[in-house]
C-alpha cells in the first residue's frame, strides 16, 4: 500500500515533537488514516490486534488523544456510546450520522464555508469569540431508508 500524504503528515507531527514511533503507534495511525468511516477507539483496537495482539485499549486512547492534542485528529464525542474519530479531516466540518446503523459520513461537495459564516455571525451577535464548532445532522443513511 502506498503511503498517503495524510499518513506521512501524522507521522511527521509525532517525529517533530520528538515522540517515539512505536509499532503500536504506527499501527494506530495507519488504522486511523485508512479508515474512511470515523472509527471508534474500540474499532481501532480491533483492527490493530491481529498485528499487535498485546496492544491495550489504554494505548489506543493515549495515542488518539495525542494526535488530537496536536490538532491532527477530530473527535466526535457523543453522550451515549463512545467517541468517533476523524484522522483524515481534522478541521471542523458537518457530519451526517445514521441513527440506525451508526454510520458517520462527510457530506460530499463540502462547504464548511457556509457553516463557518453562520457560526461567526451568531457568535458575533452574542459577543462570543469562536474557537471551534460542530454540526451534526441525524437521520437515516441511504442504505437504512426502506
Give the footprint of a copy of itself on this chain (CB under 8 A): 75, 77-80, 83, 94, 96, 98-99, 105, 107-109, 111, 114-115, 118-119, 122-123, 125-142, 145
Cα angle 35-46-3, degrees, rounded to a multiple of 5 = 35
Identify which range of 37-45, 92-100, 102-110, 130-138 contacts DNA by CB under 7 A: 37-45
Nearer to DNA, 44 or 119 (CB): 44
User: In this chain, which of 4, 81, 99, 124 binds DNA, going by CB under 7 A?
Assistant: 81
77 forms part of the interface with DNA (CB under 7 A): yes
87 forms part of the interface with DNA (CB under 7 A): no
User: In this chain, which of 1, 16, 20, 108 binds DNA, going by CB under 7 A?
Assistant: 20
**C-alpha dist (Å) from residue 61 to 3, 21, 99:** 23, 16, 25
76 neighbors 95 (Cβ within 8 angstroms): yes
| Phi, then psi, of 40 in degrees rounded to 5 | -90, 170
Residues in the chain: 146
76 forms part of the interface with DNA (CB under 7 A): no
From CA 95, how far away is CA 38, in angstroms rounded?
A: 10
Amino acid at each position: 500500500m502506498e503511503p498517503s500524504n495524510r499518513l506521512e503528515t501524522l507521522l511527521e507531527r509525532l517525529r517533530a515533537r520528538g515522540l517515539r514511533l512505536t509499532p503500536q503507534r504506527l499501527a494506530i495511525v495507519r488504522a486511523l488514516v485508512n479508515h474512511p468511516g470515523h472509527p471508534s477507539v474500540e474499532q481501532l483496537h480491533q483492527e490493530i490486534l491481529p498485528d499487535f495482539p498485546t496492544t491495550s485499549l489504554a494505548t489506543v486512547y493515549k495515542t488518539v488523544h495525542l494526535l488530537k492534542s496536536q490538532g491532527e485528529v477530530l473527535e466526535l464525542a457523543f453522550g451515549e456510546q463512545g467517541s468517533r474519530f476523524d484522522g483524515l479531516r481534522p478541521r471542523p466540518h458537518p457530519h451526517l450520522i445514521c441513527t440506525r446503523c451508526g454510520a458517520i459520513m462527510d457530506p460530499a461537495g463540502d462547504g464548511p464555508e457556509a457553516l463557518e459564516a453562520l457560526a461567526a455571525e451568531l457568535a458575533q451577535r452574542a459577543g462570543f469569540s469562536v474557537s471551534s464548532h460542530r454540526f451534526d445532522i441525524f437521520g437515516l443513511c441511504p442504505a437504512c431508508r426502506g
